[in-house]
Structure 1
Amino acid sequence: MEIDFKNIKIIGFDADDTLWVNETYFRETEERFAELLEGYETKNKIDQELFKTEMDNLDTYGYGIKSFVLSMIESALDLSNNKISQETIVEILNLGKKMISHPVEVLDGVEQVLGKLVNKYRLIVLTKGDLLDQERKLEKSGISKYFHHVEVLSDKKENNYKNLLEHLGIQTDEFLMIGNSLKSDILPILNIGAKAIHIPFHTTWVHEMVEDAEEVNGHLKLNSLTEVLKYLDN
Structure 2
Amino acid sequence: MRRQKMLMLALLLAGINMISGSAQTTNNQKPEEGTQEGKQNKKIEISGGVLVESNYSSFVHSGIGGGKSVMKPGVTTGGFLNLGISKHFSIQPELLLHYKESEFDRNNQNGIYRYWGMEIPIYAMYHTKLKNGHRIHIGIGPYTEFGLDASLKREGEKIDLYEKNTESGTPVMRDSNSGFGIINSYEFPFGLLINVSYKISISNLLDANESSAALHPQTFSLGFAYCFRK
**TM-score, scaled relative to structure 2:** 0.27
Q: Which has a greater percent of strand?
A: 2
- Structure 1 or 2, whichever has the larger Rg, is 2
Q: Which has a greater percent of helix?
A: 1
